[in-house]
Amino acid sequence: MMPPEILVIRHGETEWNRIGRWQGALDSPLTEKGRAQAHSMARALAALGIEGRTHALLHSPQGRAMATALPIAEACGLEPVPDERLREIGVGLWAGLTREEADARWPAPDPHEHFLDRYARAPEGEPFSALWARVTGLLASLDRPTVLVTHGITSRFLRTAALGLGIDRLHEVPGGQGVIFRIREGRQEVIDPASLAPGVASG
């Protein structure tokens, strides 16, 4: 059974995103660009007609997701509710290291390794099966259209599951920061906030 409509948002750019440092369960503040992304996505959701009478708002309790969710809550009149299942995948011993530092200590077995596969081998990291279990559990619990503010890898897992695909097809689902992924009836639409003027509704 397909979940209700979901609008999946990755948090805005953070200081650690900008310099290529692994975050996982750790946190870093939004950059000026990240704050602008959060407000832009909030305005876009309001332009789409997202409001408290029709939609819920769940967000990861991690600081960068909360900082992205709050402008959305204000713009759309939604009550922001933290949900642990929206946390980012744990990256174990890589958390806090730069990509270069992690690669020096734990070299990739394949120089052409897909970036998603790196997460699967993070030492003491969260298994893909555990993240899959939490996102599928969350989707099964939704009873109304919902805005979900989360993280890059958790977003991919959420959307893969919501599209009815298996975990083996993660690589087929695109990522993105500063955009809104809207999934309805098993179909995904990527919404660029720049394409929506304030006050313009969309069907």
Q: Which residues are annotated as a binding site for substrate?
A: 10-17, 64
Considering the candidates 5, 59, 88, 126, report the single residue annotated as catalytic: 88
d(Cα 21, Cα 92) in Å, to the nearest integer?
13
Tokens of 153: 């890898």
Instruction: Give the number of other CB atoms < 10 A from CB of residue 152.
Output: 17
Active-site annotation holds for 11: yes
**Annotated binding residues, as ranges?**
10-17, 64
d(Cα 134, Cα 6) in Å, to the nearest integer?
16
Considering the candidates 11, 55, 59, 151, report the single residue annotated as catalytic: 11
Q: Is 200 helix (H, G, I), strand (E, B) or coil?
A: coil
Q: Which amino acid appears at position 197 of this protein?
A: A
Minimal CA–CA distance to 125: which of 174, 88, 159, 83? 88
Positions annotated as catalytic residues are 11, 88
